[in-house]
A = this chain, B = another copy of it.
Amino acid sequence: MVPTRRATVPALEDLLFVPLPVLDHGFLRVIDYMGDDAAVVQAARVSYGRGTRKISEDEGLIRYLMRHHHSTPFEMCEIKLHVKLPIFVARQWIRHRTANVNEYSARYSIMDREFYIPAPEHLAAQASSNRQGRGVPLDGAEAASVLSLLREDSERNYAHYEQMLNEAVPDPSRRGLARELARMNLTLNTYTQWYWKVDLHNLFHFLSLRTDVHAQYEIRAYADTIMGMVKAWVPKSYNAFLDYRLNATLFSAPMMAALRRMVAGESVSQADSGLSKREWNEMMHMLNGRQSEH
């Protein structure tokens, strides 16, 4: 522990450097952070200058900023995470472009012998709607067969990776294949790792997409763990994010027309709502309150 004059958050200091396990071999660790709830307020006050006397409390200001999509003050906080994650999850994660990344390089270094093998309760069938996502869990026999295929193929491909490299127990009659080539034999559930640095605004965007029920379970497991970190770090911003983003509900213009009639006491059916069956169902779902997880 060394002294600093910077904004410091004791609850997040406690989490610093501690790996929190995710999936079977993954983890998330906070490596560094910059700013706190007060830094959000401070940046907003630079913008509003003398004009903000009325929104005088920090929490109220943070909620106001979140509600009105004033995103730049949240960009003033930054967090850096060390993440160990399967490659197929990394491929989804990297699509969030406004972040900084340093990934373990399979050109320079040898990958670890670690693969993601789902727990049986996460082995699910394709969703019947023919779109992305999972439906019901596989039953015991099918699940067991899937798990053994995944395990055997990962292990075999890794063993052949090592054999092609010829580095661990070198056979002097062979040169060994370049690492950048041998790695192509590995499976997409192989674990990689990276440092990932992102500002709070873009982290909220990441979390709103990746904690969603439509996100793949495996990346959601990481997003859910990050939620706890953010709660420890910037509790006021976190609560505003829950109320005005994550658990907020967007009604389309056609939905609003139907909703206004309902609130006025009118009985509205799909047929006379002006909505397609699909949109009507989505709206009923919204009014029945699916989003209560966080």
Check if A180 is an interface residue, CB within 8 A of chain B. yes
Say yes or no: A102-B47 contact (C-beta < 8 A), given A133-B107, A150-B185. Answer: yes
Are B130 and A51 in contact (CB-based, < 8 A)? yes
The answer to whether the Cβ of A101 comes within 8 Å of any Cβ in the partner chain is yes
CB–CB B250/A250 < 8 A: yes
Q: Specify which of B154, B251, B253 is in contact with A251 (CB 8 Å cutoff).
A: B251
Query: Are A256 and B249 neighbours in the complex by a CB distance under 8 Å?
Result: yes
- Which residue in B95, B130, B289 is a CB contact (below 8 Å) of A256? B289
Chain A, 73-118, CB within 8 A of any chain B CB: 73, 75-76, 78, 80, 82, 86-88, 90-91, 94-95, 97-98, 100-110, 116, 118
The verdict on A273 contacting chain B, using a C-beta distance below 8 Å, is no
- A237 near B: Cβ within 8 Å? no
Q: Which residues of A contact B (CB under 8 A)?
A: 1-8, 13, 16-17, 31-35, 39, 42-44, 46-54, 67-69, 72-73, 75-76, 78, 80, 82, 86-88, 90-91, 94-95, 97-98, 100-110, 116, 118, 122-127, 129-136, 138-139, 142, 146, 149-150, 153-154, 156-157, 160, 163-165, 167, 174-181, 183-189, 193-195, 197, 199, 209, 214, 216, 242-244, 247-256, 259-260, 262-263, 265, 279, 282, 286-289, 291
